Amino acid sequence: MSRRHTTARRERGGSVRAMSTTGPDASPRTPLRSSYDLVVAGVKTPAADGATFDVAEPATGARLTTVAQAGKADLDAALSAASDEFETGAWRRTNATARGKVLYRVAELLRERAEDFAVAEARNGGHPIGNARWEANAAADVFEFFAGATNKHYGQVIPVQDDGLDVALREPVGVCGLIVPWNFPLLITTWKVAHALACGNPVVVKPASLTPITALMLADVLLDAGVPPACVSVLPGPGSTLGNRLVADARVNKISFTGDSSTGAQIMRTCADNITRVSLELGGKSACIVFDDADLEAAIAATPMSVFDNTGQDCCARSRFIVHRSVYDDFVAGFVAGTQRLVVGDPLDEATQLGPMISEGQRRTSLEYLEVASAEGARRLCGGDATGTGW
Ligand code: NDP
């Protein structure tokens, strides 16, 4: 996650309860659709081979919905349509201001449907509903930003020594393969899709298998706003096969990936074979440093959520503290007290600040790390066991 996002979320910190009192009534545990199709070049369709997979609700562990699982034929159809569209140039030749207006409409529709997106993100991603509402509106902000950016990508005139003219033009890159993780499914999809479309590129999105719902919902918004159908494909399916094929396909001109560092390294190697452009956003290990002259009260107030927001599943979550010895005891006491006050619960409960971990596997991994830490001499000052009825 980017530094800009960290700051915005920090500013929001502490407003979780305030949002809950001014937002809509508590969202019911409304069912999402019982099944979801793929979106292949703007068309909702089952997988060509009929494959599906179940998606779980992290808060309960129960099946949430069933999603079509894209295979080779679906990927092929999406990429052929996207590369044909790019060749003919309908979207990239649409004048930049008009493209911006379409993206502005995306932002408007996202705001109109923000509560649907929030409930879906809370149920599929386990995000507390107050956070999920903020994320849905932040997704609209991203499209608004790029709506304004479409006609502000200027070229350059470069001075040359001899008589002559050296001009650098910015052109769309082509088909963009966008691979998204499960921790911020809507926002990270938005960060990748909005830029690509703003610059005139078709997108093929591969959401995380654990959290495909809001990316599929976003496809509806894009199409309703007027993005050409061939520019919009969302293909849920396994990263190890579908994701790998997407990265390796020569029709893809750019890969953007967020996720595990070892997956990123493998993707970079594959991209090298086709000389495909690639952007990677991988794991992080962020330190929080508290100096002896720090405003201790402010540090204590800010730090619990800097660690535990999104149940700690955030690549810029603070994962260690370096504290000056003169304020160490006071800081630790305040941090522990603040952490104990955090409300763990059902993501749809307006009071909840920490929802479930994304999956049983992640919960097990986290508990194992606690065991490792204890074995290496760490002292537990609070928590340490799985909480609640979910994962
Ligand atoms: P992965 O890297 O496995 O998954 C991220 C995305 O990549 C998913 O859509 C996944 O699909 C897809 N994918 C997996 N393998 C391939 C492949 N070979 N080729 C193409 N796409 C692939 O991350 P995890 O979800 O397993 O998370 C593991 C760790 O990664 C976390 O614990 C965290 O440290 C880090 N991470 C960092 C994030 C960040 O924001 N920087 C976000 C999420 C994770 P599928 O879901 O089907 O496996």
The predicted-structure confidence for 259-286, as pLDDT tens digits, reads as follows 999 999 999 999 999 999 999 999 878 9
Structure-token pair, residue 203: 């997108």
Cα-flanking dihedrals φ and ψ of residue 207, to 5°? -75, 165
Please work out whether the CB of residue 213 comes within 6 Å of at least one atom of ligand 1. no
Rounded to the nearest angstrom, the distance between the alpha carbon of 382 and the centre of ligand 1 is 30
* Ligand 1 atom nearest residue 188's Cα: 40
The architecture of the domain spanning 10-25+285-375 is 3-Layer(aba) Sandwich (3.40)
Please tell me whether residue 20 adopts helix, strand or coil conformation.
Answer: helix
What pLDDT, on the 0 to 100 scale, is given for residue 295? 97
Helix H, strand E, coil C: the string for 204-250 is: EEECCCCCCHHHHHHHHHHHHHCCCHHHEEECCCCHHHHHHHHHHCC
CA 318, CA 387: separation in Å to the nearest integer?
Answer: 21
Q: Look at residue 108 and tell me whether its pLDDT is greater than 70.
A: yes
Quote the mean pLDDT of the chain: 91
Amino acid at 22: T
Please work out whether the CB of residue 206 comes within 6 Å of at least one atom of ligand 1. yes
- The answer to whether 281 is a known catalytic residue is yes
Across the range 52-77, mean pLDDT stands at 96
What pLDDT, on the 0 to 100 scale, is given for residue 149? 96
Report CA-CA distances (Å) from 76 to 40, 82, 87, 178, 252: 10, 10, 16, 15, 11
Please work out whether the CB of residue 355 comes within 6 Å of at least one atom of ligand 1. no
Residue with tokens 């502000």: 152
Please work out whether the CB of residue 247 comes within 6 Å of at least one atom of ligand 1. yes
Please work out whether the CB of residue 185 comes within 6 Å of at least one atom of ligand 1. no
In testing the pocket of ligand 1, which one of 179, 252, 256 has its CB within 8 Å of the most ligand atoms? 179
Please work out whether the CB of residue 281 comes within 6 Å of at least one atom of ligand 1. yes
- The answer to whether 315 is a known catalytic residue is yes
Rounded to the nearest angstrom, the distance between the alpha carbon of 257 and the centre of ligand 1 is 8
Q: Look up the pTM and report it.
A: 0.91
CA 79, CA 369: separation in Å to the nearest integer?
Answer: 41
Asked if the domains 10-25+285-375 and 31-154+168-281 are classified in one and the same CATH topology, the answer is: no
pLDDT tens digits, residue range 123-182? 999 999 999 999 999 999 999 999 999 999 889 999 888 888 999 999 999 999 999 999
Closest CA to 211 of 125, 313, 127, 315: 125
Please work out whether the CB of residue 282 comes within 6 Å of at least one atom of ligand 1. yes
Residue 292: alpha-carbon gap to chain centroid:
36
Identified catalytic residue from 176, 199, 231, 315? 315
Structure-token pair, residue 76: 């092929």
**Strands, E assignment, the chain:** 35-36, 38-40, 43-45, 52-56, 63-68, 156-158, 166-168, 176-179, 203-206, 232-234, 254-258, 277-281, 286-290, 318-323
CA 122, CA 34: separation in Å to the nearest integer?
Answer: 16
CA 350, CA 194: separation in Å to the nearest integer?
Answer: 30
pLDDT tens digits, residue range 314-357? 988 998 999 999 999 999 999 999 999 999 999 999 999 999 99
Q: Look at residue 13 and tell me whether its pLDDT is greater than 80.
A: no
Rounded to the nearest angstrom, the distance between the alpha carbon of 13 and the centre of ligand 1 is 26
* Ligand 1 atom nearest residue 246's Cα: 20
Cβ–Cβ contacts within 10 Å for residue 58, how many? 27
pLDDT tens digits, residue range 220-274? 999 999 999 999 999 999 999 999 999 999 999 999 999 999 999 999 999 999 9
Q: Look at residue 203 and tell me whether its pLDDT is greater than 90.
A: yes
Please work out whether the CB of residue 208 comes within 6 Å of at least one atom of ligand 1. yes
Upper half-sphere CA count for residue 147 (Cβ side, 13 Å) = 18
Domain boundaries, the chain: 10-25+285-375, 31-154+168-281
Rounded to the nearest angstrom, the distance between the alpha carbon of 229 and the centre of ligand 1 is 27
Amino acid at 311: T
Query: Does domain 31-154+168-281 bear CATH number 3.40.605.10?
Result: yes
Provide the percentage of residues in the chain whose pLDDT is more than 70.
Answer: 91
What pLDDT, on the 0 to 100 scale, is given for residue 30? 61
Please tell me whether residue 288 adopts helix, strand or coil conformation.
Answer: strand
In testing the pocket of ligand 1, which one of 213, 241, 260, 310 has its CB within 8 Å of the most ligand atoms? 260
| CA terminus-to-terminus distance, the chain | 24
Across the range 276-303, mean pLDDT stands at 94
Whose CA is closest to atom 15 on ligand 1?
239
